[in-house]
Homo-oligomer: A and B are copies of this chain.
Amino acid sequence: MDNSVGTVTAQRATFDMPLTFRSGAVLPRYELAYETYGTLNQDRSNAILVCHALSGNHHVAGHYAGDPKSVGWWDNMIGPGKPVDTDRFFVIGVNNLGGCHGSTGPSSIDPKTGKPYGAAFPVVTVEDWVESQARLADQLGIRQFAAVMGGSLGGMQAMQWSLSFPERVRHGLVIAAAPHLTAENIAFNDVARNAILTDPDFHGGDFYGHGVVPKRGLRLARMLGHITYLSDNAMADKFGRSLRSGKLGYGYDIEFEIESYLRYQGDKFASYFDANTYLLMTKALDYFDPARVYDGNLDKAFSAARSDFLVVSFTTDWRFAPERSREIVNALLHNHRNVSYAEIASTHGHDSFLMQHEHYHAVMRAYLDRVAGEFSS
């Protein structure tokens, strides 16, 4: 595979020090699944932390041995010679706490009961994630990241890093994100959550012991999610009003191509993703709002930041529209931060941040060239 980091192996870090969540809940011990690509340089100054979004995980680039199709979710961005150049950077992907891909989460065994946490797993916030990731950085001997980066919910973690640990981040790369969710964003999340919560197979979050999975709810949540990740135009271009069989069926089976696409995505997702993790991730999105304790004043919220920033948005992203990114940019500028901002013309809506896109990748490459110029490799 050209420009791939090649075969990768997931690793696991254990933390035996209790972690207190924003909610007050305490996790006495936890594990984080992570992967690394590239080599940490002598003075440990070339590390980049990649934070994932709602359904992502630590498998960001490369593939697993014997499974060439198991390509990481941001493989087009990260690798030798790619915008995040693993010949220069030491890149870390981490599965968030509460996740379902190896890090401690609702499906992990609660040592207190010997059963999966389920509903007992605490609601986790972006601040909690950053806290837990900082301990991973400690364990890896990284005092300061060259950059913390992510798209969507991952971009929120990059922002939070610059606020929770201003001295540990030289650059925050905030892509397709927002300073907080709008009422409409929360509304979509709440419909998705209710689909899961009211699925009879959810069993109040403790479905593990019942030998079932709330697939119906997860499927609906994912179908709905996909609508908000795409743009109206992208859907029109890709699917339009095309009929699968060429004629109307006058029934409730799949008729339009868009229905086929959505149901397929829903079924696929429901077959592997954990319902409790989905709930936790959407809550973390809803709660993220650094300006909350400053009466909504984002300028004040960002006063703690010390890093430089690259903020990127996409013209057809109606979930976290460019206006939302500009709110971030303005608040950073008011705090005299060095901010680069790119508004990328893309047809793919919110999902654009995951796509191979020439202009977008050129912007990322140019910015990270500058970041790499700041340390000796």
Contact = CB atoms under 8 A, between A and B. Distances in A.
Contacts of A186: 241, 256, 258-259
Contact of A182 (B22, B190, B200, B236): B236
Interface string A187-199: 1101101110111
A183 B123 contact: no
Nearest to A223: B191
A31 interface: no
Given A194-B223, A227-B191, A251-B123, A236 B184 contact: yes
A263 interface: yes
Interface in A115-131: 122-123
A262 interface: yes
B262 A190 contact: yes
B258 A193 contact: no
A240 interface: yes
A289 interface: yes
A371 interface: no
Contacts of A194: 219-220, 223, 263, 266
B183 A235 contact: yes
Number of copies of this protein chain within its complex:
2
A182 B232 contact: yes
Contact of A183 (B197, B200, B239, B251): B239
B200 A200 contact: yes
Interface of A: 21-25, 122-123, 180-184, 186-188, 190-191, 193-195, 197-200, 216, 219-220, 223-224, 226-227, 230, 232, 235-236, 238-241, 248, 250-252, 255-259, 262-263, 266, 279, 283, 286-287, 289, 292
Given A183-B232, A188-B227, 18 more contacts: A21-B250, A22-B250, A23-B248, A25-B250, A183-B238, A183-B256, A184-B227, A184-B235, A186-B256, A186-B259, A187-B223, A187-B259, A191-B220, A191-B262, A199-B216, A200-B200, A241-B292, A250-B283
Report the 5 A-B pairs with minimum CB-CB distance, sorted nearest first: A23-B250, A183-B235, A123-B250, A183-B258, A183-B239
